[in-house]
Amino acid sequence: MDFIERGGLLINEAFLEVLEKARLDSFEALMQRKEGTVFKEKKARSVVRFELESSSGMKAFFLKRHFDPEADRAGRGLGRFLRKKRPEDGRNEWERMIELADAGFQTMIPVAYGETNKGSLTVTEEIYDSVRVEDHIPSLAGLGDDAILEKRDIIVRVARLAARFHEMGFNHQDFYLGHIFIRPTTGELFLVDLQRVQRRSPALERWIVKDLAQFVFSAISIDNFSASDLVRFGYAYLGKDKFSAADKKLIRKIMAKAERISRHTVKLLKRRAMAQK
């Protein structure tokens, strides 16, 4: 991928023409854009899907904007220095997209990135004809032996993806099945929502445990994912057909963390329900 600077943005050259044609080849134009389908709208972040015409037909994009609500108030100098730095921003996701693609992982295609003292944004191309793994696995229930084999194959390949991801020093911090997409026609797997991804050498066990606990929590929360599927994932992740004493110790840590995530999620949902009353 080649990138050029334009209007306060770093733009993937393959998408320059389509952004120019829509007059979206500047940071301000994208930051102020109103059109599109809103997927998320919070004080500090919004996600909008929009479509643009290109020479090869319509293309769909996701615009993720990170706002700094304290920028104007904090101003410059000591006040700005003392502001709490948020761990999630456009720059980290942009850099991780490129880094993961270079490492051979399938992920979002980076289109544009920009940043000022008031916020940041990323534009990515839609992963066409894909669905969340957390939605695809339940859809295979009751469809016969071929669907069972497909489900098992997906679980093994997700496990191997996770193993390679961790072996290369990455950790996701949001490693739920909703953040892994699959293109059913080809079986391709894509990692998404990378704003919290980190890389260390070597990878630390606590972060691996957190990722795998998030996977376990999301897996056991969906239909058509059994205890034997969880064991199948563990064997594939470790590259074994039998767990050692050390493996079992690690698994106990993962399951304990998954239980803590479950308790926290229940409390969070209760607080949200109370807030809506």
What letters, b where the CB count within 10 A reaches 16 and e where it falls short, cover 259-270?
Answer: eebeeeeeeeee
Do 219 and 233 lie in one domain? The reply is yes
pTM for the whole structure: 0.87
Do 69 and 187 lie in one domain? The reply is no
The total of structural domains in the chain comes to 2
C-alpha span between 47 and 239 (Å, rounded): 38
Do 101 and 218 lie in one domain? The reply is no
The predicted model gives 179-188 an average pLDDT of 96
Residue 74 has pLDDT above 50, yes or no: no
Do 19 and 146 lie in one domain? The reply is no
Residue 51 maps to which CATH number? 3.30.200.20
Q: How confident is the model over 8-20, as pLDDT tens digits?
A: 999 999 999 999 9
Do 107 and 164 lie in one domain? The reply is no
Residue 144 maps to which CATH number? 1.10.510.10
Do 142 and 248 lie in one domain? The reply is yes
The predicted model gives 140-152 an average pLDDT of 96
Q: Which domain holds residue 39?
A: 3-125
Do 111 and 180 lie in one domain? The reply is no
Q: How confident is the model over 147-178, as pLDDT tens digits?
A: 999 999 999 999 999 999 999 999 999 999 99
C-alpha span between 169 and 164 (Å, rounded): 9
Last residue of a domain, one of 56, 90, 125: 125
Do 153 and 195 lie in one domain? The reply is yes
Residue 226 has pLDDT above 80, yes or no: yes
Residue 276 has pLDDT above 80, yes or no: no
Helices (H), 117-244: 133-139, 145-167, 205-220, 227-238
Length of the chain: 277
Pairing of strands 57-67, 119-125: antiparallel
The predicted model gives 250-261 an average pLDDT of 95
